[in-house]
Each structure stands twice: as structure tokens, then as C-alpha cells.
Amino acid sequence: MRTIAYRHKAVVGLAAVALITVGCSSGKSVDTSSPQVGLIATTSSAAPAQPAEVKLIGDRDVEVTLTGPIAAKYSSATEDQKQALGKALTGDRNAGTRESGAVFQQFQGGAIIAKNNQAGTPAYIVVGKIRDAWNIDRAPDGTPSVTGENGSAGPLGLPTSDENAVGDLLVSTFEHGKIEYNAKTNQIDVTVNGRVVPSGL
């Protein structure tokens, strides 16, 4: 028994010396005749499980339940994004499924939208002035029109990114264009199918 205990201590001691030697090496030359001991790090490629639903206290203190891609996006949103969204709005016009299959939830300051309600479908957040410009009724060419359509049904289509900072601009991309907002100048540029159109704001 003592022999095994001494051997165990010797192996642990050698391992510690090897680790110290590797850590103190200058990296210029390596003595390949001595054993090297290292640590193996493992990672999992599986993404963390997304919640099946998220319950919030919405506008007028009504409980709102988010599901599917909308719940997944809200749970992964930053605190700044959640603050920009504000409270969830209630009622049939503020949440649901469009004829196209797109799902949405409106909030006081923005919206979360996904192309469909299937698990794994990415959802995006549209807020502030960019959301306001996206919600302007537009003709098929993107120009503001009282007889046009807005939001996901309008000529810009569904969002394909969250708002991103590019220099002084905040930029959101859509299926058929982009909206850029300069907070310093309060200027909004809307591009539909490669053509800059009036923001309508």
C-alpha cells in the first residue's frame, strides 16, 4: 500500500513539474525528450435551450405570454433592447400572425418580428425612429402613400437584422432595403430596392 501511495505522490509531483516547465517556457525551443502535460478544454456546440414561453407584465398591467421565436428573442435581448422596447402591448392588433405567416409582438417602443413561428426561426427587434419609418404607409416603390402598406406588409418587408451601430448611424436591414437613423442630426434615410425614398416622417 505504501509503495502505491509513494508512486501516486511521485506521479503528481512529476505532473506539477511538467506543468510549471511548460508555463515558464520562453517558447523559443522545446525539449521534445521530456513529457509534456496539458489541459484539454472541451466545449459544447449545442446552444442553450430557449424558453418555450416568457411571461411579462404588459401595458395596463395585463400579463402577456410570448412564445416561439418571439420568446427566444426577448429572453436573449440585452437590457438596453428591453428598455427600448418597453412594455408589451395587448390586444389582437398588437400581437399575432400575419397572412404571410410572420409572427409579431408590439411593444410601447418597438416590435419583435419573425418570419414564422417555427423553432429556430430568427426574430428581430425594430425600435424607435427606425420602427416609425418602417410603419409609414408606402407605395410599392417605397414612397410614402396613404393607400400603401406598412411594416412587414409594406415594400421593405420583414427585418433581417436588429439595429446596429455603424459610425454615427443606427441601421436596420429588411428583406428589400434598409433604414438608417442619425441620432445627431435626427435624419432618417430609407432605401427600398436600392433606391433612397422619402422617410415620410
Q: What is the pLDDT of residues 67-86, one digit of tens each?
A: 899 999 999 999 999 999 99
Report the range of poorest mean pLDDT among 61-65, 112-116, 188-192.
61-65
Give the list of residues 6+ apart from residue 65 with CB closer than 8 angstroms, or none. Answer: 53, 54, 55, 56
What is the CA angle 163-166-171, rounded to 5? 30
| Residue pLDDT, tens place only, 109-124 | 999 999 998 988 999 9
Domain ranges of the chain: 53-197
**Distance between CA atoms of 23 and 4, rounded to whole angstroms?**
29
pTM above 0.85, yes or no: no
Question: Taking 90 as the threshold, does the pLDDT of residue 140 lie above it?
Answer: yes
Q: Average the pLDDT over 89-112 and give the result.
A: 90
Whether the CB-CB separation of 125 and 112 falls below 8 Å is answered with yes
